């Protein structure tokens, strides 16, 4: 699906769901949050980055997965941008730094960044009410829905049950119909009062962007973020992904191992939530910008706003071994998760759709960031990220990957 076609779904969504806003600018100005402080890096992390690069290569071999893409930056320097394995277990084409993967929910951070840019220009406000721009927007709590804002969308404070209508989306129901059906969904809490993770409702931010700019959401991201940052292979949609010279096919488990399949269209229908495709080379530029080294694209104020906790997410403290051992606090910001990782601020997001997984993490105090993308549903690569963070922070070593155990399991198969 082309970027224009993907973007057009948002407009058709406005019509069919009954939103159809006026493209006039919303009221308000830029957000006002203090810029997060950053220590000067105490040392060069090139050695640690190279060790983690080698670990990623070993994981591909030991776990017998198709490929991993890895990006590590420190300040404005790219320490690692590489990929190991193959794009497709049938064609055996080698994966490289230019191989494009689906980002899945790592896409949400782009929604937060774009919104911050538009807030600074006055096209939107963090306190813009949905109903002022989308007059037909409703929830079961009519009064509560009246008070929901831009900030509530991006921090998942809609009051809906977790992942409302995701199954319907996966069953090929169009976004525009599901957006209209939010009015009939049961509520978990009063709108704005609690955190519940969303994809369909999160993508209402695309409708607000159209209301504030008169332009498609995907085009705005391309124009304001991808192109200025030099993310030249970053796109939205399945058709642009499949048109790339090198792209990672999604893989699912089969009797003989990992089997390539065609990417599913479903979550491409909610571009703000899960629509971005990008390579290791692209993600290096994204990390550098998120660490504050491209103020011409993302201002310190924009970064501070999107990296500031908005709502507590205590359930994140117990999901995986590294979370249980390292995290002291967990919140959601505006398109990013904010963790206290062993006493240090960590900006994070994960992503998952059929055949793809991804992780992105920043340690602002140390001016470093890492992105891992892989084209299978294996959980083994998740341990690479905390291994790197621990080495940067000088924490006691833990075997988060457990390559030895993975090799033993594969030997028994």
Q: Judge contact between 175 and 139, C-beta under 8 A.
A: no
Rg value, the chain, Cα: 20
Q: Pick the last residue of a domain from 159, 178, 213.
A: 213
Could you report the per-residue pLDDT of 218-244, keeping only the tens digit for each? 999 999 999 999 999 999 999 999 999
Q: Are residues 208 and 306 in the same domain?
A: no
Supply the CATH number for residue 304's domain: 3.40.710.10
Q: Are residues 310 and 261 in the same domain?
A: yes
- Mean pLDDT of successive 10-residue segments in the chain (413 residues)? 43 40 33 40 88 98 96 98 98 98 98 98 96 95 96 98 98 96 97 98 98 97 98 98 98 93 97 98 98 98 98 94 97 98 98 98 98 97 98 96 85 69
C-alpha 403: how far from its chain's center?
27
Q: Identify whether 176 is part of a domain.
A: yes
Q: Which domain does 134 fall in, by range?
A: 3-19+112-213
Q: Pick the last residue of a domain from 172, 197, 213.
A: 213
Q: Identify whether 231 is part of a domain.
A: no
Q: Are residues 164 and 301 in the same domain?
A: no
DSSP H helical ranges for 248-383: 271-274, 280-290, 300-306, 321-326
Alpha carbon distances (Å) from 7 to 197, 202, 362? 23, 15, 29
Question: What integer pLDDT is reported at residue 40 of this predicted model?
Answer: 55
Question: What integer pLDDT is reported at residue 167 of this predicted model?
Answer: 97
Q: Identify whether 172 is part of a domain.
A: yes
Q: What is the largest CA-CA distance in the chain?
A: 63
Bridge partners (DSSP) listed for residue 247: 100
pTM: 0.90
Q: Are residues 283 and 318 in the same domain?
A: yes
Question: What integer pLDDT is reported at residue 319 of this predicted model?
Answer: 87
Q: How many domains does the chain have?
A: 2
Q: Identify whether 198 is part of a domain.
A: yes
- Burial degree of 11 (CB within 10 A; 0-12, 13-18, 19+): middle
Q: Are residues 188 and 137 in the same domain?
A: yes
Question: What integer pLDDT is reported at residue 408 of this predicted model?
Answer: 80
Question: What integer pLDDT is reported at residue 256 of this predicted model?
Answer: 83
Q: Are residues 170 and 135 in the same domain?
A: yes
Q: Identify whether 26 is part of a domain.
A: no
Q: H or E element: which one contains 404? A: helix 403-412
């Amino acid at each position: 699906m082309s970027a224009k076609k993907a973007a057009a779904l948002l407009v058709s969504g406005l019509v069919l769901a009954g939103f159809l806003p006026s493209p006039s600018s919303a009221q308000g100005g830029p957000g006002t949050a203090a810029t997060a402080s950053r220590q000067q890096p105490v040392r060069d992390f090139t050695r640690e980055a190279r060790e983690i690069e080698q670990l990623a290569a070993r994981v591909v071999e030991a776990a017998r997965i198709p490929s991993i893409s890895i990006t590590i930056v420190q300040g404005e320097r790219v320490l690692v941008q590489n990929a190991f394995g193959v794009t497709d277990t049938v064609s055996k084409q080698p994966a490289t730094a230019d191989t494009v993967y689906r980002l899945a929910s790592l896409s949400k951070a782009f929604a937060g960044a774009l919104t911050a840019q538009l807030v600074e220009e006055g096209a939107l406000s963090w306190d813009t009410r949905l109903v002022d721009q989308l007059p037909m927007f409703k929830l079961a709590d009519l009064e509560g829905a009246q008070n929901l804002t831009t900030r509530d969308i991006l921090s998942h404070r809609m009051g809906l049950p977790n992942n409302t209508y995701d199954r319907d989306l996966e069953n090929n129901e169009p976004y525009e119909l599901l957006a209209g059906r939010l009015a009939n969904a049961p509520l978990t809490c009063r709108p704005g009062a609690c955190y519940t993770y969303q994809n369909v409702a999160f993508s209402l931010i695309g409708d607000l962007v159209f209301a504030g700019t008169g332009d498609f959401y995907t085009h705005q991201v391309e124009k304001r973020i991808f192109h200025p940052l030099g993310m030249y292979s970053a796109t939205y949609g399945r058709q642009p992904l499949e048109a790339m010279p090198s792209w990672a096919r999604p893989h699912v488990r089969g009797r003989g191992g990992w089997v390539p399949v065609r990417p599913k269209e479903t979550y491409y229908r909610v571009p703000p939530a899960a629509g971005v495709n990008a390579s290791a080379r692209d993600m290096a530029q994204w990390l550098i910008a998120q660490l504050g080294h491209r103020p011409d694209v993302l201002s310190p104020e924009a970064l501070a706003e999107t990296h500031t906790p908005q709502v507590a997410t205590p359930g994140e403290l117990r999901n995986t071994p590294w979370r249980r051992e390292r995290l002291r606090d967990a919140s959601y910001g505006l398109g990013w998760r904010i963790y206290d990782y062993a006493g240090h601020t960590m900006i994070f997001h994960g992503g998952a759709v059929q055949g793809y997984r991804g992780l992105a993490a920043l340690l602002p105090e140390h001016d470093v960031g890492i992105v891992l993308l892989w084209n299978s549903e294996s959980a083994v690569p998740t341990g690479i990220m905390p291994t790197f963070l621990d080495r940067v922070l000088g924490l006691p070593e833990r075997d988060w990957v457990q390559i030895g155990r993975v090799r033993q399991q594969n030997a028994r198969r």
